[in-house]
Amino acid sequence: MTTPPPDALDLIRRRVINVVGHELRTPITTVRGLAELLVDADPEEARTVIIPALIRNSRRSEELLDDLLIVSEVKTAHPVEKADAIDLGEIARSVTRHTVVRVEGAPDGPAYGHGDLVTRALRHLVSNAVKYHQSDPWIHFESDEDDVTAVVVTPVDGQIDDVESIFELFFRGESAVTRAAGLGIGLPAARSLARVDGGDVSVESTPTRFTARLRLPRSARPAQGVS
């Protein structure tokens, strides 16, 4: 691989920091603001509203950090535990609970991966579906001899040209990242998380549907594209 010229490296560096800053700002802002509110909060409101939100956003910061490391192909964020057989249908049901996304059917057998990474990957796809749906999204399953796939289908209004570019977040300028909501870290992170387990995420866009496929192997497979 050739090294980009210094000016291009500087541009990439600034874009990475812009994306990282944007992604982390929401949970960090929320944690700081809610922590300050705790000082004078009504105890019942603190217990039922503020503390759960603090925990939720602390956890989100932690996951974002891990996602950023994984999407940047930094192996230190990979789990040390071994992958195992996982039920993709059960994970789909857990991440869609309390959302408009319905789960149709079940996979015809277990997939192989790290349950926490696969959960995070599918949560990113579901979160995307919740934000952009025009009518209720759904998940169904496909399988073949080698792979089990969760297919997240989102009815939308409008086709995305050059749909593969949504995985290239670090190479977009501020105006593109800012204007195109949803071009945050979610989809690139989902792909990187799946690749840790030898799977992948692919997307298709038509004028009425956005389809994301989370594919996982049925048995152990080396990670892809990770340094």
Partner 1 sequence: MNAADGIEVVVADDEADIRLLLKLQLRQFGISVVAEATDGIEAIELCEATKPHVVILDLLMPNMNGFEAIPELRRRCPNVKIIAYSAVAGDFVRDEMARHDVPLRLKNGDAEPLVAAIRSVVSEPCPD
CB of 136 within 8 A of CB of 101?
yes
In the set 4, 9, 13, 36, which binds partner 1 (CB under 8 A)?
36
Under rule CB under 8 A, residue 58 binds partner 1: no
Token pair belonging to 149? 């796939």
Q: Which residue has the tokens 């000082």?
A: 39
Applying CB under 8 A, among 11, 16, 20, 26 the residue interacting with partner 1 is: 26
Task: Judge whether 220 and 155 are in contact, CB under 8 Å.
Answer: no
Q: Between 111 and 212, name the residue whose CB sits nearer to partner 1.
A: 212
Tell me how far apart the alpha carbons of residues 133 and 129 are, in angstroms, rounded to a whole number.
Answer: 6
- Site for partner 1 contains 56 (CB under 8 A): yes
30 binding partner 1? (CB under 8 A): yes
Task: Identify any residues that bridge with 225 across adjacent strands, giving them in sequence order.
Answer: none
Tokens of 121: 């990957």
Footprint (CB under 8 A) of partner 1, residues 156-185: 173-175, 177-179, 181-182
Q: Is 59 helix (H, G, I), strand (E, B) or coil?
A: helix
Size of site (CB under 8 A) for partner 1 = 32
Give the interface with partner 1 as residue ranges (CB under 8 A): 18, 21-22, 25-37, 40, 49-50, 53, 56-57, 131-132, 173-175, 177-179, 181-182
